[in-house]
Chains A and B, each alone.
Chain A
Amino acid sequence: MATQAENWFSRSRTVARPGYSRWMVPPAALCVHLCIGQAYAYSVFNLPMTKLIGITDSAPDDWKLTELGWIFSIAIFFLGVASAVFGRWVEEGGPRKAMFTAACCWAGGFLISAAGIAIHNLWLIYLGYGVLGGIALGIGYISPVSTLIKWFPDRPGMATGMAIMGFGGGAFIASPLSVWLMKQFTTETHIGVMETFIILGVVYFVFMVVGSIIVRVPPDDWKPEGYVAPKANKLISSNNVYVYDALKTPQFWLIWVVLCVNTTAGIGVLGQASAMSQEMFPGQITPIAAAGLVGLMSLFNMGGRFAWATTSDYLGRRNTYFVFMVLGFILYCLVPYMGSIGSVAGFALCFCIIISMYGGGFSTVPAYLRDMFGVRYVGAIHGLLLTAWSAAGIFGPVLVNYIREYNVTHNVPKADAYNTTMYIMAGLFVIGLVCNFFVKAVNERYHMKSDGRAMAAATA
């Protein structure tokens, strides 16, 4: 028997009535993405959490940085798992149910982690922020995507770009806010991480619930006023592909590789930008200036999410990825040259553009999937594609760190230790370019029939 609460969460209750403005949907999506974007700022807790017992210095019973590093890794792993596993449920259950679930998991993750700090049990934090928080990241990340695409068929790139920009921007709020909160609750005998977790959990819950309240899905036959569907185009399909049939198409895996390449290239330098810039420009870039560079790159990461996705509405999705791949190749080849001539400005410019394309890759891909597989299961297919992110999270840092380490131990000067990695990254973009070239229209045997089931040929 359906209860009133179940009704409130149901997809049918979120169908917009006439007069509802579609411009209410991006803020609803941002309510979720700005909160879960906190994940990018999680590192601000690392150092304070190594001194919870010792307060001024780490005591023997305090947690080590290597142990704490697993919290973020577990969260990102469960992001990929949750978006892949729950994608279809998110799509069929509607955005309100998904956003509310994400709010409960995200806030619950913080509260369980706070309990973990109170009793000094790291496993509770792995479970709280890592597992539960990771599930919230996965569900929250994909929940507004298809809703936005349905509301903005005329500008799907811009619409999803706005939401995914919020994921990049969430760290800008979380980082200074967390530092400020910890300062308020820190005394001579106590570090205020637990209280900060509790407050963040409550605040994020309120924000995300507001998003779930104001979000609406358009009626089935709704179109923006004056909207004319684009002319027949091989790379923009008006047919839908069932979520699991998308996995059988080469297009899904080609786009998977393209996203993985773009993310590997970006994530590798994003995590190491501070150390890399100081080692490539010894004496020219101080630790404070390096922190400034990281901040600047984060701004380009966020701005690129909106700018590139919006551009893709005019340029086309495949062409936008061509630009990423060609420009990425050129810029990565230029980085060692910038190092050799000591051009800090040139180096910073190269990396800022690369990072803008890293963000742009994330925000453009939902619209790319919509063009290929239709709008019906785009959220679920997007969830499956995010496994490329998880893979890149391993490849990127490994490429940068291990090759640098190898070079340094083989007497390569530190300033030149990253050159090999830069050329390998440039090579990856060539692979991405080739894969992107082979993305063509999906074979019609994979298209869904009107009764919502894939053609027998596709599922056979």
Chain B
Amino acid sequence: MQSHDSQTTKAQLVMAWGFVGIPLLWGVSQTLLNALQLFK
């Protein structure tokens, strides 16, 4: 019963990774856009 209660679901994993991944990807994309100035 304990095992069933604490089972990590795929939805929890997606939420946890999305929680940190989305802001990080946004920040990386902003930095990448700035970095492109080097090649202009």
A169 to B25, CA, bound (A): 9
What's the least CB distance linking A163 to chain B, in Å?
10
Given A292-B36, A292-B37, are A23 and B13 also a contact pair (CB < 8 Å)? yes
Chain A residues with Cβ below 8 Å from B30 are 172, 175-176
Interface size on B, residues (CB 8 A): 29
Q: Is A53 an interface residue (CB 8 A)?
A: no
What's the least CB distance linking B36 to chain A, in Å?
6
Within 8 A of B (CB), among A10-33: 16-21, 23-24, 27-28, 30-31
Whether B39 pairs with A292 at a CB distance below 8 angstroms is yes
Q: Is A452 an interface residue (CB 8 A)?
A: no
Contact with B along A378-395 (1 / 0, CB 8 A): 000000000000000000
- Which of A27, A28, A285, A299 contacts B31, CB < 8 Å? A299
What's the least CB distance linking A130 to chain B, in Å?
24
Chain A residues with Cβ below 8 Å from B3 are 17-19
Q: Is A288 an interface residue (CB 8 A)?
A: yes
A166 to B23, CA, bound (A): 11
Given A17-B3, A34-B23, are A293 and B28 also a contact pair (CB < 8 Å)? no
B16 (CB) vs chain A CBs: closest residue: A27
Within 8 A of A (CB), among B5-39: 5-8, 12-13, 16-17, 19-21, 23-24, 26-28, 30-32, 34-39
A79 to B14, CA, bound (A): 32
Chain B residues with Cβ below 8 Å from A21 are 8, 12-13
A285 (CB) vs chain B CBs: closest residue: B38
Given A27-B16, A28-B16, A31-B20, are A19 and B8 also a contact pair (CB < 8 Å)? yes
Chain A residues with Cβ below 8 Å from B28 are 169, 172, 299, 302
Q: Is A173 an interface residue (CB 8 A)?
A: yes
Chain B residues with Cβ below 8 Å from A31 are 19-20
Chain A residues with Cβ below 8 Å from B32 are 295, 299
Whether B38 pairs with A173 at a CB distance below 8 angstroms is no
A347 to B15, CA, bound (A): 41
Whether A289 pairs with B40 at a CB distance below 8 angstroms is yes
Q: Is A263 an interface residue (CB 8 A)?
A: no
Chain B residues with Cβ below 8 Å from A348 are 38
Chain A residues with Cβ below 8 Å from B13 are 21, 23-24
Whether B31 pairs with A172 at a CB distance below 8 angstroms is yes
A299 to B2, CA, bound (A): 43
Chain A residues with Cβ below 8 Å from B7 are 19-20
Within 8 A of B (CB), among A333-371: 348
Whether A27 pairs with B37 at a CB distance below 8 angstroms is no
Q: Is A298 an interface residue (CB 8 A)?
A: yes
Given A292-B36, A296-B38, A348-B38, are A20 and B20 also a contact pair (CB < 8 Å)? no
Chain B residues with Cβ below 8 Å from A18 are 2-3, 6
Q: Is A214 an interface residue (CB 8 A)?
A: yes
Contact with B along A199-235 (1 / 0, CB 8 A): 0000000000010001000000000000000000000
A400 to B23, CA, bound (A): 34
Q: Is A291 an interface residue (CB 8 A)?
A: yes
Chain B residues with Cβ below 8 Å from A171 are 27
What's the least CB distance linking B33 to chain A, in Å?
9
What's the least CB distance linking A301 to chain B, in Å?
11
Chain B residues with Cβ below 8 Å from A288 are 37, 40
Q: Counting chain B CB atoms within 10 Å of each CB, which of A20, A285, A295, A299 scores highest? A: A295
Within 8 A of B (CB), among A155-179: 166, 169, 171-177
Chain B residues with Cβ below 8 Å from A176 are 27, 30
Whether B20 pairs with A34 at a CB distance below 8 angstroms is yes
A166 to B2, CA, bound (A): 33
Whether A289 pairs with B38 at a CB distance below 8 angstroms is yes
A34 to B4, CA, bound (A): 32
| 23 A/B residue pairs, CB under 8 Å, sorted by A | A17-B5, A17-B6, A18-B6, A19-B4, A20-B8, A21-B13, A23-B17, A27-B20, A31-B20, A34-B23, A169-B27, A176-B30, A210-B19, A288-B37, A288-B40, A289-B38, A291-B37, A293-B35, A295-B38, A296-B35, A296-B38, A298-B31, A299-B35
Known: A18-B2, A295-B32; 15 extra A-B contacts, CB below 8 A, are: A16-B6, A18-B3, A21-B8, A23-B13, A24-B12, A27-B20, A166-B20, A169-B27, A172-B28, A172-B31, A173-B23, A285-B38, A292-B35, A295-B37, A299-B31
Q: Which residues of A contact B (CB under 8 A)?
A: 16-21, 23-24, 27-28, 30-31, 34, 166, 169, 171-177, 210, 214, 285, 288-289, 291-293, 295-296, 298-299, 302, 348
Q: Which 4 A-B pairs have the closest CB atoms?
A: A172-B27, A292-B38, A292-B37, A17-B6
